[in-house]
Chains A and B, each alone.
Chain A
């Protein structure tokens, strides 16, 4: 399976293709997160919707996981291979065009990878703070029909007060909103997240235009524009992710929760 590593250009394609998939995911994730500003109900509905996807969610996780594994293995292999090419360094090193973001891809990548492990244990599997597993919200599903009840919840609430024939469905779901607010109220965790997404934005500012170059899309008008888009995209992603912990820290979100 890893025979492709012997071919430098194929390895580049693997980096670009897996990167493209990760970029699509990151874009969706960043925009999805912003629903926290629409309030508790919007975020928890979105989270419950994602969870309800079931097999589709797992298929997406497997493909994404594979993309990450290939992206990481290929980059580390290439870096070690490329490092062997110049054992004697230049006495004077100067860069004219190689940007700092391009020369630090492997390091920002490794740091983002380590953050990702923490992030998954923190908010996805919720093993870092197991109390997040038990955070539930009882809500009434206004979009559902008037038929059917969740008996366990019914008994725990005064749902009978709604009157016969007018029963909205009372359900229970994970309280993602409370989990996010609780997580980001810890200043160190918030700062760690903000730092990580800044690195991610930095990584992406080189990655997007590099991906097009690798896939063979380059032109005298397209490439300068794509370099600008790439930079703007990196800044957008960093801001879109960082604004959530920042808002919690500053008290715009989750006050009095």
Chain B
């Protein structure tokens, strides 16, 4: 396959970036998108050019580190998958592919496709935990949890914090991330004592970081590599309303 790759190049946070065209011949359809970028980088290094900086870690679709925007969609056009699980067979010979970093004031570009996503870590620090010391693992049936609730909490806990929701949202809102992180604790008995405080603190941190507000576009849900549902945003809204009455905002 022959691919025309339009890649965002930006040497550092302050520099002004631009789109650079690279043409790659002999791309195998069995390569993952990241392997294709690896091939590009090998060629760039051989020529003495600066390789394209991008993040990757597990390369098996479970960590979300490889978040980047391909043809206007975070993680590319394959639904429910990260970039490393997007294969070149999804593209056609001679395709033009635009590769950009997440564009968000809260996710500044460090270099090329590499952005600083530590704002998500700070949101987790604000309340994405249970502060009681729960000791060692209890018996499985000591704390009865209905199957439906356990499944729902598990669906929320699937969030890998890759940043695609905020990158996809026309408003740059991180509500899907915050909703998933709040919900997976607030659904379970262990999360109940801090339910209101958690919803309030994590939303407040999200606002303080500078993320936008949710307008129910549902673009986050479409881009999410873990298919987190916007129903968790509805749950966060409920929990936040409860918290606002209980503790103020």
Contact = CB atoms under 8 A, between A and B. Distances in A.
Chain B associates with chain A: yes
Interface of A: 6-13, 78, 81-82, 84-99, 102-103, 105, 206, 209-210, 213-220, 223
B222 A86 contact: no
B100 interface: yes
Contact of B234 (A10, A81, A93, A213): A213
Contact of A98 (B212, B217, B235, B238): B217
A81 B249 contact: no
Contact of A9 (B8, B100, B203): B203
Interface stretch (B44-52, B54-62, B86-94, B103-111): B103-111
B214 interface: yes
Contacts of A86: 103-105, 172
A160 to B, nearest CB: 65
A223 B231 contact: yes
B210 interface: yes
26 contacts: A6-B207, A8-B214, A9-B213, A9-B241, A12-B213, A12-B237, A81-B212, A82-B170, A82-B212, A82-B213, A86-B103, A91-B8, A95-B219, A97-B219, A98-B218, A102-B215, A102-B216, A102-B218, A103-B170, A209-B216, A213-B216, A214-B237, A215-B237, A217-B234, A218-B234, A220-B231
Interface in B121-176: 170-173
Given A82-B170, A88-B103, A96-B219, 17 more contacts: A8-B212, A8-B213, A9-B213, A12-B213, A13-B241, A78-B215, A82-B172, A84-B105, A85-B104, A85-B171, A85-B173, A92-B100, A97-B219, A102-B216, A102-B218, A210-B215, A220-B231
B112 interface: no
B223 A82 contact: no
Given A97-B218, A102-B216, A216 B71 contact: no
B19 interface: yes
Interface residues of B, dominant DSSP: mixed
Contact of B231 (A12, A13, A105, A219): A219
Interface in B9-24: 19
A97 B213 contact: no
Contacts of B104: 85-86
Interface in B218-249: 218-219, 221-223, 230-231, 233-238, 240-241, 244, 249
B72 interface: yes
Contacts, number: 124
B180 interface: no
Given A85-B104, A85-B172, A97-B217, A90 B69 contact: yes
Contacts of B72: 90, 92-94
Closest 8 CB pairs of A and B: A85-B172, A216-B238, A94-B72, A218-B234, A96-B222, A98-B217, A97-B222, A8-B213
Nearest to B19: A91
Contacts of B237: 9, 12-13, 213-216
B227 to A, nearest CB: 12
Contacts of B244: 10
Which one of B19, B170, B203, B249 has the highest number of Cβ atoms from chain A below 10 Å of its Cβ? B170
Given A12-B214, A216-B237, A97 B221 contact: yes
Contacts of B6: 91
B217 A7 contact: no
A213 B237 CA distance: 8
Contact of B219 (A7, A11, A87, A98): A98
Nearest to A75: B215
A81 B230 CA distance: 22
B81 interface: no
Nearest to B243: A9
